[in-house]
Amino acid sequence: MIKLILFFLLIIPFSVYAQSTTENGYLEKDSITQKGFTLIYINKSESFDPAVGQKLKDTFFKVYPPMVKKYNKKSARKVTFLIDPAYDGVAATSSDRVIYNPDWFRRNPNDIDVVTHEVMHIVQAYGRTPGPWWVTEGIADYVRYEFGVANAEGNWSLPDVNEKQNYDNSYRVTARFFAWIVKNKDKKFIEKMDKAMRDHQYTDEIWVKLTGKNPADLWKEYLTNPEI
Question: Which residues of this chain interact with Zn ion, rule CB under 5 A?
Answer: 137, 140
DSSP conformational letter for 160: P
Instruction: Bin 75: left if φ > 0, else alpha if -120 < ψ < 50, else beta.
Output: beta
> In this complex, which beta carbon is closest to Zn ion, that of residue 123 or of residue 140?
140
> In this complex, which beta carbon is closest to Zn ion, that of residue 50 or of residue 89?
89
Whether 101 and 84 have beta carbons less than 8 Å apart is answered as yes
Whether 110 and 148 have beta carbons less than 8 Å apart is answered as no
For the chain, the 3-state helix, strand and coil shares in percent, each to the nearest 5, are 50, 10, 35
- Output the smallest distance, CB 169 to Zn ion, in A: 14
- Output the smallest distance, CB 137 to Zn ion, in A: 5
Residue nearest to Zn ion (CB): 140
> In this complex, which beta carbon is closest to Zn ion, that of residue 113 or of residue 137?
137
Q: Where are the alpha helices (DSSP H) in 77-132?
A: 102-107, 114-124
> In this complex, which beta carbon is closest to Zn ion, that of residue 39 or of residue 98?
98
| Cα distance between residue 185 and residue 93, in whole Å | 31
- Output the smallest distance, CB 167 to Zn ion, in A: 17
* Edge-to-edge strand ranges of the sheet holding 28-34: 28-34, 37-43, 78-83, 97-100, 91-94
- Output the smallest distance, CB 221 to Zn ion, in A: 27
| Cα distance between residue 98 and residue 188, in whole Å | 27
Q: How many residues appear in the chain?
A: 228
- Output the smallest distance, CB 128 to Zn ion, in A: 17
- Please tell me whether residue 40 adopts helix, strand or coil conformation: strand
> In this complex, which beta carbon is closest to Zn ion, that of residue 115 or of residue 140?
140
- Output the smallest distance, CB 91 to Zn ion, in A: 8
